[in-house]
Amino acid sequence: MQRKLERSRAHFRQAAKRLPLGVASNFRYWGDDDTFYIERAEGGRLWDIDGNAYIDYRLGYGPTILGYCDPRVDAAAMEGMRQGSVFALSTERELAVAERICKMVPAAEMVRFSCSGTEAVMAALRVARAFSGKDGYVVAEGGYHGVFDAALWTTDMEGWSGQGDPELVAYSEGVPGILRSLVWQVPLNDADRLEDLFKRKADKIGALLIEPIQGNCCAISADPAYMKAVRELCTRYGVVLIVDEVKTGFRVARGGAQEIYGIQADLCTYAKAMGNGYPISALAGRRDIMSIIGQTVVHGGTFTAHAVSLAAAEKTLEILDETDALATIAGYGERLREGLAGVLEARGIPHCFVGHPALSGLFFSETPPAGYRDWKTSDHVFYDTLAPLLVDRGVLIEPDSREPWFMCEAHAKGGCLEETLKAFAAAVDATLEQLGDRGQSAAE
Ligand code: PLP
């Protein structure tokens, strides 16, 4: 079974002449024959230009927390549109949204807005470096923090032999090699390794960038004890703790991952769910650190706090804060996990779920991974085979096993569960058939 993609394929051939890879972001290219184009979306569903319908668990990599075309958010965005666009001056609404963020996130004492997750993290790193007076920074294996040069360093897990540490390599050509000397990588969930690094490089390292739930790596999660140790070590060694909540923020809890872990960052970054798909992000954090913005540190941008996005964020955050939307989303995620587990158990396929029900990693091994290295030994070939078969059956997940599944409020209202489970059972059976003996051994 392969869904019809003629129109998308024809469009791709035209688009590739004007747009590198035929798309606007490398991650939207699925191959010359499999890149497809979207006609429209509503609730938890998407339709492509060939008329194929999908229940969407990618949700644009996370922003759509309530559902596509949410009428409450879109009405607010229209209000922002009527106000204008950007004025190179501020509006009263900026304070209203900042107040909401500070109410929801205890670590947030002051806020600055940007347009994307990348911009927020970029600003966080600059502020942290200025505050600490040290340019070096630490990232965790499997972490992802956006598409700017300082963040485009990635763990080469595919190339890892299983001995020693995996290498940290540039994600892209064009990233100056000279930047490598400023970044250190540590395995997640190993506080001793972190302490050892801080002890050796205390005079060089000014910031630690971390996602407690790795939104781009199967939702692999830090242990609560590890996050507490991270907090304590950063304080002890004068390192600014930046918790990157671009994916977890306003999704896994009102106060994001920090609420779940019971810790407070020095700086934290938000984007995705904050505006239900309208482009807006925020850098928030300690008053003494944030206050250096405008004194010695520059932050700004023509489109920051754009009236449309800001109005959308005001409404989205109001809904997430004042209704039970996040409980509905997590509840749907729980029921989905139970249903998927039922399908897999019936076929004897070892699996576990990682992360949070609203941002859920599906892992084909019996024990949850403690870090990215465990991904290497999980049966991701099974996942990689399953994913396109599921997409063909109208359930949209990322083809790469490292991208978690995202839930939105509209999934729970749209009767998506039964359809997903039916498609999942059929796709698992097709995977077992396709993998033959290999699939059988996965099921043993
Ligand atoms: N940080 C994290 C944790 C992310 O997941 C992402 C994007 O997926 C980013 C930063 C970059 O955000 P954006 O794609 O909006 O620039």
DSSP of 229-273: HHHHHHHHTT-EEEEE-TTTTTTSSTTHHHHHHT---SEEEE-GG
Distance (Å) of CA 414 to CA 170, 179, 404, 425: 42, 47, 21, 20
CA 60/CA 276 separation, integer angstroms: 10
CB 118 less than 6 A from any atom of ligand 1: yes
Is residue 252 within 8 A of residue 213, CB to CB? The reply is: yes
CATH number 3.90.1150.10 is the correct assignment for the domain at 37-68+325-442: yes
Is residue 212 within 8 A of residue 371, CB to CB? The reply is: no
CA 304/CA 41 separation, integer angstroms: 26
Is residue 420 within 8 A of residue 428, CB to CB? The reply is: no
5: three-class secondary structure by DSSP: coil
Identify the pLDDT of residue 415.
83
Closest C-alpha to 226, from 197, 247, 249, 195:
195
CA 228 to chain centre: 22
Q: Closest ligand 1 atom, CA of 281?
A: 15
CB 150 less than 6 A from any atom of ligand 1: no
Using the structure block, give the residue that is written with the tokens 């076929």: 347
Å from CA of 60 to ligand 1 middle: 11
Torsion angles phi and psi, residue 113, rounded to 5:
-100, 150
Is residue 57 within 8 A of residue 391, CB to CB? The reply is: no
CB 246 less than 6 A from any atom of ligand 1: yes
pLDDT of the chain along its 444 residues, tens only? 689 999 999 999 999 999 999 999 999 999 999 999 999 999 999 999 999 999 999 999 999 999 999 999 999 999 999 999 999 999 999 999 999 999 999 999 999 999 999 999 999 999 999 999 999 999 999 999 999 999 999 999 989 999 999 999 999 999 999 999 999 999 999 999 999 999 999 999 999 999 999 999 999 999 999 999 999 999 999 999 999 999 999 999 999 999 999 999 999 999 999 999 999 999 999 999 999 999 999 999 999 999 999 999 999 999 999 999 999 999 999 999 999 999 999 999 999 999 999 999 999 999 999 999 998 878 889 999 999 999 999 999 999 989 999 999 999 987 899 999 999 999 999 999 999 876 656 555
CA 360/CA 44 separation, integer angstroms: 16
How does pLDDT run across 386-434, given as a tens digit for each residue?
A: 999 999 999 999 999 899 999 999 999 878 999 999 999 999 999 999 9
Options 3.30.70.260, 3.40.50.300, 3.40.640.10, 3.90.70.10; CATH for 71-322 is 3.40.640.10
Return the amino acid letter for 78: M
Using the structure block, give the residue that is written with the tokens 């941008």: 301
Å from CA of 443 to ligand 1 middle: 35
Beginning with the edge strand found earlier in the chain, give each strand of the sheet holding 53-56 in spatial order: 38-42, 45-48, 53-56, 395-396
CB 274 less than 6 A from any atom of ligand 1: no
CA 85/CA 78 separation, integer angstroms: 11
16: three-class secondary structure by DSSP: helix
Domain boundaries, the chain: 37-68+325-442, 71-322
Closest C-alpha to 34, from 6, 62, 1, 57:
6
Å from CA of 126 to ligand 1 middle: 17
Structure token pair of residue 248: 């977890």
Structure token pair of residue 276: 């239900």
Other Cβ atoms closer than 10 A to 74: 16
How does pLDDT run across 203-231, given as a tens digit for each residue?
A: 999 999 999 999 999 999 999 999 999 99
Identify the pLDDT of residue 441.
61
Å from CA of 349 to ligand 1 middle: 32
Distance (Å) of CA 220 to CA 166, 215, 394: 17, 8, 26
Å from CA of 152 to ligand 1 middle: 11
Is residue 291 within 8 A of residue 52, CB to CB? The reply is: no
48: three-class secondary structure by DSSP: strand
Whether pTM exceeds 0.85: yes
N-terminal to C-terminal alpha carbon distance within the chain: 26
